[in-house]
Amino acid sequence: MKRCWLTLGRKDHISELDASATPGWRGGAARARKQTDGLRDQLLGLQERLFAESRQKLLVVLQAMDTGGKDGTIRRVFSGVNPNGIRVARFGRPSELELAHDYLWRAHARVPERGQIVIFNRSHYEDVLVVRVNSLVPEQTWRRRYAHIRDFERMLVDEGTTILKFYLHIDRDEQRERLQARLDEPSKNWKFDEHDLVQRRKWDDYMLAFEDAIRETHTDEAPWYIIPANRKWFRDWAVMSILVDALGRMDPQYPKPDFDPGSIRVE
């Protein structure tokens, strides 16, 4: 596959990665959208086989700053997939019941079952991101969570789940424009949350938190993809490409019948 994500080298800082880049893509937006539509047809076929096979599982983790495009990516990449075989799990502010458990509890409860694709819209990573930036737990607590998360994800992979983790990377200017648009366009007002402005002031802290989280939990079995996401058409194409590539490698198969279809006549 052509590389369509950014790599975080040992000395790189996320804030220095170009959020408007289009790695692996030559050509404009229109061609990317068309190719994304073509890939969606492949996705639909692969998903049907995954569902029929009912053996493997796919977990897609989406993380981003506010306005980074998590909802939009889900709408644009996954609309059209048979709702029977796909589920979105949203991780908002934890409930009392969730807070009364360890932080992985609510994530574990929502991982995919056989044959399913589950998309985590935010995830257990919030517990080393928003929780860290806002000092909701001491450093020693969030710091040891990287190891928990690696262990948790390795277990899921060992037990038959493929994990793809996407960080949708926008820059500070892009976020300003998108937040302002939520104020300026009445049909988008409902998406605006004043709390987002508070978090925006902590931009640099978030970049550092993402950087550490990605570095510490990027593994061969559960890799992170840093998707430049200022350009929505590129973001959609990149996520779709990685997804279709991964499903292709999973290579789900229609199960062989354990009976002889030719020997049965329905009366």
Q: Which residues bind a second copy (CB under 8 A)?
A: 52, 71, 74-75, 78-84, 86-88, 90, 119, 121, 176, 179-180, 183-184, 186-187, 189-192, 194, 197, 200, 254-257, 259, 261-262, 264-267
Residue with tokens 């408007």, as numbered in its chain = 20
C-beta closer to a second copy: residue 31 or 195: 195
Smallest separation, CB 24 to a second copy (Å): 26
Smallest separation, CB 257 to a second copy (Å): 4
Structure tokens at 133: 């930036």
Smallest separation, CB 32 to a second copy (Å): 21
C-beta closer to a second copy: residue 52 or 137: 52
Smallest separation, CB 66 to a second copy (Å): 11
Phi and psi angles of residue 60, each rounded to the nearest 5 degrees, phi first: -110, 120
C-beta closer to a second copy: residue 81 or 111: 81
C-beta closer to a second copy: residue 53 or 212: 53
The CA distance from 194 to 226, in Å, is: 27
Q: What share of the chain is helix, strand, coil (3-state, %, to 5)?
A: 50, 10, 35
Cβ count within 10 A of residue 227:
28
The CA distance from 224 to 94, in Å, is: 24
Smallest separation, CB 169 to a second copy (Å): 19
Closest by CA position to 208, among listed 147, 99, 128, 91: 128
**Using the 8-state DSSP alphabet, how is residue 181 labeled?**
H
C-beta closer to a second copy: residue 9 or 257: 257
Residue with tokens 């409860």, as numbered in its chain = 109
Smallest separation, CB 137 to a second copy (Å): 27
The CA distance from 133 to 116, in Å, is: 33
